[in-house]
């Protein structure tokens, strides 16, 4: 995270606060997540250098930049087209060439790149979308904030074993923007 210039992902007017441990607005009612929670989720993913990763909720591209430094390839999906375009431009300008950004609805995942060794959600659905579980490799892991209301969200870790069976653990209470449905 020290190697990642967070000020380049934050809007100009918030650049001075970019290294404070707090979320920052990125427009369109969305935020760049608090560094502490980015660290917790990244750590929980247990990334290896050969992993292929899917992120739902590109936002500013900051979390994708962290993932890109710890894995082989990152596909990140963003439902707000302007944010997707900005994240792609920022990541490209900083030289993160193993990340692809798509304007797409994360509820459907990204089948052309599946299966993924790791999947990370940075917006909260009411329940883990089945399409994402299907796009996870055997021995894969998905980390997601889950909960229908802001007050009732938990960070979940879902593991898929070599036979395809899944098990889920709750890690800690969190507060993420809701994952919205595509049109
Ligand atoms: C907390 S922000 C993500 C922060 C981001 N990971 C970063 O590092 O800046 C959540 C993002 O999820 C996006 N989002 C919400 N619902 C989505 C969906 N169904 N598919 C894809 N992106 C979605 C929002 O537009 C928002 O940009």
- For a substitution probing ligand 1, which of 57, 100, 127 has the most ligand atoms within 8 Å of its CB? 57
Instruction: For 50-109, write each residue's pLDDT tens digit.
Output: 999 999 999 999 999 999 999 999 999 999 999 999 999 999 999 999 999 999 999 999
Q: What is the pLDDT of residue 183?
A: 61
Which protein residues touch ligand 1 with a CB less than 6 Å away?
Answer: 30-33, 56-57, 59-60, 62-63, 77-80, 83, 105-107, 122-123, 176-177, 179-180, 182
Q: Residue 95 contacts by C-beta under 8 Å, 6 or more apart in sequence?
A: none
Q: What is the pLDDT of residue 148?
A: 76
Q: What is the pLDDT of residue 80?
A: 96
Q: Is 167 a catalytic residue?
A: no
d(CA 115, CA 144): 17
Residue 125 has a CB neighbour count (10 Å cut-off) of 21
Q: What is the pLDDT of residue 150?
A: 75
d(CA 99, CA 113): 12
Instruction: For 98-147, write each residue's pLDDT tens digit.
Output: 999 999 999 999 999 999 999 999 999 999 999 999 999 999 999 999 99
Distance 45 CA to ligand 1 centre (A): 18
Q: What is the pLDDT of residue 151?
A: 80
Render the burial of 137-150: b for 16+ CB within 10 Å, e for the rest: beebbbbbbbbeee
Domains located in the chain, CATH noted:
34-174 (3.40.50.150)
d(CA 35, CA 22): 7
* pLDDT of 12 higher than 90: yes
């Amino acid at each position: 995270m020290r190697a990642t210039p967070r000020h380049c992902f934050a809007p100009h007017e918030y650049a001075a606060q970019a290294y404070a441990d707090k979320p920052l607005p990125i427009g369109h009612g969305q935020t760049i997540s608090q560094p502490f929670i980015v660290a917790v989720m990244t750590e929980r993913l247990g990334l290896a250098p050969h992993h292929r990763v899917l992120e739902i909720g590109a936002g500013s591209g900051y979390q994708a930049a962290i993932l890109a430094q710890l894995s082989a390839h990152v596909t990140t999906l963003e439902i707000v087209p302007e944010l997707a375009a900005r994240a792609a431009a920022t990541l490209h300008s900083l030289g993160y060439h193993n990340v692809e950004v798509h304007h797409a609805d994360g509820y459907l995942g990204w089948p052309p790149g599946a299966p993924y060794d790791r999947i990370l959600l940075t917006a909260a659905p009411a329940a883990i979308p089945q399409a994402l579980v299907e796009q996870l490799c055997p021995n894969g892991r998905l980390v997601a904030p889950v909960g229908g209301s802001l007050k009732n969200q938990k960070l979940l870790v879902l593991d898929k074993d070599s036979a395809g069976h899944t098990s889920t653990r709750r890690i800690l209470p969190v507060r993420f923007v809701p994952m919205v449905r595509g049109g």
